[in-house]
Amino acid sequence: MPAAGRLRYLEALPRGIDRARGVRSESRGTLVLIHAFPLNARMWEPQLALADRGWRVVAPQLRGVDGGDRDPPTSSMDDYAGDVIDLLDALHIHEAVIGGLSMGGYVTLAMFRHAPRYFLGMVLADTRPQADTPEGVEGRKRMLRLVSEKGVAALADEMLPKLLGDATRRDRSELTAGVRGLVLSNSTESIGGAIAALMTRPDSTPLLSTIHCPVLVLVGDEDTITPRALSEDMQRAIAGSELVVLPGAGHLSSMEQPAAFNEALARFLGHRL
Ligand code: MLT
């Protein structure tokens, strides 16, 4: 995986684009996709196919993730956001459609809070604007104890039934094993840092009415971590935004229903940008 600034990233370029002749001038635009917790950038591999529709796709790997030891893990959503902004600068990307799934959505909102000028459009998948509730914070503390006492495999056992929808877990053992592999790629330290960032993130609800770029909200209809009703509320709070509900998907909708997810994204990119 190449690196720029402090982050590694996955990238797909539209066919026929010659990097030497300038990526920016020849592609339709750049789509930046930020991964969920506790996964890594490889969760976006099915979305790299959007390069076939003319978009440059960049998927940053958040700091400390998947053995990334260039930096100590962070404990702040703002650090993750600052790292992605630095990556955009290092890649000379001045504006892009920026989005993420779940924690990737929290990072996206933190980026918008600090640097809205980078946003041509926004994609918020299986996420929410609210901060953790007091019960949510207690749950995070239990998770921290679980990881430090029993390791990352115990976290994977606990989270997989929540991350994936019923249909996926029943019928798609390969995908379930693949997600487990992504979780296991992370160290106890990076997971501990991410949990601290999750439980201290601010409420982004007041930000929603200030978003005036085109926004696509996506949610799996079997998502139990960030249920559909939260996406409906978020879509109502962002003027002019669109909501797409993906049948047969749980929380990891981009991995569980990649064709429907990509179709919704391609339609949004085609019509709204
Ligand atoms: C994620 O998928 O990124 C996490 O489940 C987010 C969260 O726990 O709030």
Q: Give the mean model confidence (pLDDT) for residues 83-111.
A: 97
CA-CA distance, 84 to 75, in Å (whole number)?
Answer: 15
CA-CA distance, 176 to 270, in Å (whole number)?
Answer: 32
User: Is residue 71 very low, low, confident or very high in pLDDT (cuts 50, 70, 90)?
Assistant: low
Index of the ligand 1 atom closest to the CA of residue 128: 9
User: Is residue 69 very low, low, confident or very high in pLDDT (cuts 50, 70, 90)?
Assistant: low
For the chain, the first-to-last Cα distance in angstroms comes to 28
**pLDDT tens digits, one per residue of 133-165:** 999 999 999 999 999 999 999 999 999 999 999
CA-CA distance, 113 to 98, in Å (whole number)?
Answer: 13
Q: Output helix, strand, coil percentages for the chain, rounded to the nearest 5.
A: 55, 15, 30
Q: Give the mean model confidence (pLDDT) for residues 28-32.
A: 93
**CB of 36 closer than 6 angstroms to any ligand 1 atom:** yes
**pLDDT value of position 72:** 66
**CB of 9 closer than 6 angstroms to any ligand 1 atom:** no
- Residue % of the chain over a pLDDT of 90: 85
Q: Is the pLDDT of residue 54 over 70?
A: yes
| Mutational test site, ligand 1, from 182, 225, 230, 256, max ligand atoms within 8 Å of CB | 225
206 burial (CB, 10 Å; 0-12 / 13-18 / 19+) is exposed
**pLDDT value of position 15:** 79
CA-CA distance, 206 to 109, in Å (whole number)?
Answer: 11
**pLDDT tens digits, one per residue of 171-203:** 999 999 999 999 999 989 889 999 999 999 999
Contact 34, 99 (CB under 8 A): yes
**CB of 102 closer than 6 angstroms to any ligand 1 atom:** yes
**CB of 225 closer than 6 angstroms to any ligand 1 atom:** yes
